[in-house]
Amino acid sequence: MRNRTWLLVVVCLAVIVAACGDGGAGTTTAAPGTTAAPGTTAGSATTAAAGTTAATGEPTGYAELDQAMAGDFAGTTVEIVAQWVEGEAENFNASLDPFREATGIDVQYEGLTDYELTLQTRVDGNDAPDLAQIAQPGKMISYASEGQLVDISPWFNTDKLVEEQVGGFFELTQFDGGVYGVYYKTDVKSIVWYPVEPFEAAGYTIPTTWDEMTALSDQIIADGNGNPWCIGIESEAADGWVATDWIEDIVLRTAGVDFYNQWWKHEVPFNSPEVLAAAEEMASIWFAPDYVYGGNVAINATNIRDVANPMFDPAGPQCWFQKQAAWIPEFWPGNRDVSDRSQWANPPGEASSFFYLPGIDPAVGNPVLGAGDMFVMFTDGDRPEVRALLEYLATPQGAQAWIELGGFISPNTTVPVEWYTSYPNTELVPILNNADSFGFDASDLMPAEVGAGSFWTGMVDWVAANGEGTEEIFQSIEDGWPAG
């Protein structure tokens, strides 16, 4: 009996410790903040020197930043938060160090875990930071409409921003006649992977227009080299999202970014003629005979991680093109489960590389699809030193350290390309810098019922029907758009 009692106590203790473990994670979010002390180590001083030569030498084009660089705000404190923790926090801090060194402003960076919820809680609790990173433009709009954010347009040199950044980023920061954010970081999705060696051996050349791409697809079929496209949209609970990226890329290319932004804001119907036309364009690849490996059944049955398996078939590529963002090589055969990238059997850039998904309508040009992070200023933060930091983050120097450390693409086209040193960013940045416009992943911007619901499942239904009933499917997505 006594023994059992003790057993019970031990079990209870174990359960409680386990429960506290979960709860503890939430309460220790303050811990990373302690790493936000201004960088005064020897290592950061050297990068600081490199960064400030460009910044202090000539006027930056931003009023408050010039004042700060002159030391006018030394001794003040700015609080900035983002979702970047651990390695990314170190990289971001390294990018902030030159500013700290040159201005004497104490920039306290805090990387928050469970970011969106934590930020919301702090804002609700009147404890908003001065500057905060926002990944979802919709979140910026909701904060701005609550009156929590500063309209930066009266004092920020937005002309410079518009001039330097790829078209499309600035539009995403506009709301109700004001400007509420500055884009800092981005990525690029509009790329197509292909197996380099067999591709060159077959004498194929990289297509630079949509028509060249379909002509090459036809040629691959005619050459008896299998199917041109590897496509799969099965993705556990997120089946269909790959197809939504395709639609978005094609809408950007056929109807342009202005229409595109109206589309995800639902200022035009989801099933506008432009969108249906884009779907037809997509169907001419997805549902054309022999175009896709395994046909429409394979598209629905193949998991995203397995899509490229036939591309790396020992007997030679069974399919040649995979449109997917730069993270996909992790899942290729011979790479997955190999944590040491130098041991990968199909290293990206060698076994396979990518080309830009070509534009369609010359009048629209070459857009890119992607996502990105902006910084917003909360109302308590409207002080000259905070303005100076926000301006600093818009300059190339504001991201230089992170760019050089790798894993960062700036929306600012004036960033010297030689700062980018590691693949695939060395290849992605020229694509972004040459782009005529930038479209933010629309399914991430639409209400979840659509963007993570009916749009996904609609695409699955569409593929299951092998491209039949396009109008009905898009109509039903439109009908299901939540009111208000």
Partner 1 sequence: MAGALEPQAQVNSGSGWLILRDLVLAAVVVILIWLGLGILRSETMLSGLGPFVGKLVQALVALAVGVVGIWALFIVVNSLVEYLPARATNAIRPFVFVLPAIAVVSLYLVFPAVGTIIQSFTEVPEGEGLLYNYAQAFSDPKLLLALRNNAIWLVLAPAGALLIGLTFAGLVDRIKREALAKIFIFLPLCISGAGAAVIWRFVYEWRPPGRPQIGILNAIVTLFGGDPIPWLQEIPTNTLALVVVMIWLQAGFAMVILSAAIKGVPTELVEAARIDGAGEFQTFVRVVLPSIRGSMITVFTTIAIAVLKVFDIVYVTTNGNFDTDVIANRMFNEMFRFRNFGFATALAVILFLAVVPIMVVNVRNLRQQGIGV
The residues of the shown chain that bind partner 1, judged by CB under 8 A, are 9, 12-13, 16-17, 19-21, 24, 27-28, 30-31, 236-237, 239-240, 293-295, 297-298, 300-301, 310, 447-449, 452-453, 457, 460-461, 464, 483-484
Q: What span, in angstroms and rounded, lies between the C-alpha atoms of 260 and 253?
A: 10
3-state helix, strand, coil in the chain (%, to 5): 50, 15, 35
Q: CA quadruple 405, 409, 414, 417: dihedral positive or negative?
A: positive
Q: CA quadruple 366, 369, 373, 376: dihedral positive or negative?
A: positive
Q: What span, in angstroms and rounded, lies between the C-alpha atoms of 75 and 366?
A: 46
Q: What span, in angstroms and rounded, lies between the C-alpha atoms of 375 and 82?
A: 9
Q: CA quadruple 204, 207, 212, 214: dihedral positive or negative?
A: positive
Residue number with CB closer to partner 1 (26 or 407): 26
Other CB atoms within 10 A of residue 208 CB: 13
Residue number with CB closer to partner 1 (200 or 472): 472
Cβ contacts of residue 195 below 8 Å, gap of 6+?
311, 312, 317, 320, 351, 352
Smallest gap from Cβ 124 to partner 1, in A, equals: 16
Strand 227-229 relative to strand 352-356: parallel, antiparallel, unpaired? unpaired
Q: What span, in angstroms and rounded, lies between the C-alpha atoms of 155 and 388?
A: 11
Q: What span, in angstroms and rounded, lies between the C-alpha atoms of 212 and 206?
A: 8
Residue number with CB closer to partner 1 (168 or 226): 226
CA–CA–CA angle 175, 136, 82 (5° rounding): 110
Smallest gap from Cβ 13 to partner 1, in A, equals: 6
Smallest gap from Cβ 28 to partner 1, in A, equals: 6
Residue number with CB closer to partner 1 (104 or 294): 294
Smallest gap from Cβ 47 to partner 1, in A, equals: 31
Instruction: Enter the tokens of residue 151.
Output: 């309209």
Q: What span, in angstroms and rounded, lies between the C-alpha atoms of 139 and 133?
A: 11
Smallest gap from Cβ 310 to partner 1, in A, equals: 8
Q: What span, in angstroms and rounded, lies between the C-alpha atoms of 443 and 430?
A: 25
CA–CA–CA angle 371, 373, 379 (5° rounding): 140
Smallest gap from Cβ 483 to partner 1, in A, equals: 6
3-state secondary structure of 283: helix
Instruction: Enter the tokens of residue 369.
Output: 């699809």
Residue number with CB closer to partner 1 (42 or 483): 483
Instruction: Enter the tokens of residue 25.
Output: 């994670």
Smallest gap from Cβ 297 to partner 1, in A, equals: 5
Residue number with CB closer to partner 1 (227 or 470): 227
Smallest gap from Cβ 469 to partner 1, in A, equals: 14
Residue number with CB closer to partner 1 (98 or 295): 295
Smallest gap from Cβ 309 to partner 1, in A, equals: 9
Smallest gap from Cβ 482 to partner 1, in A, equals: 8
Smallest gap from Cβ 92 to partner 1, in A, equals: 23
Q: What span, in angstroms and rounded, lies between the C-alpha atoms of 420 and 403?
A: 6
Strand order in the sheet with 182-186: 106-111, 77-82, 131-134, 372-377, 182-186
Instruction: Enter the tokens of residue 334.
Output: 């011979």
Residue number with CB closer to partner 1 (201 or 238): 238
Which of 185, 179, 187, 186 has the alpha carbon at shortest distance from 376? 179
Residue at 282: amino acid letter? M
Smallest gap from Cβ 453 to partner 1, in A, equals: 6
227 bridge partner residues = 319
Residue number with CB closer to partner 1 (203 or 484): 484
Residue number with CB closer to partner 1 (286 or 355): 286
Residue number with CB closer to partner 1 (240 or 358): 240
Residue number with CB closer to partner 1 (177 or 484): 484
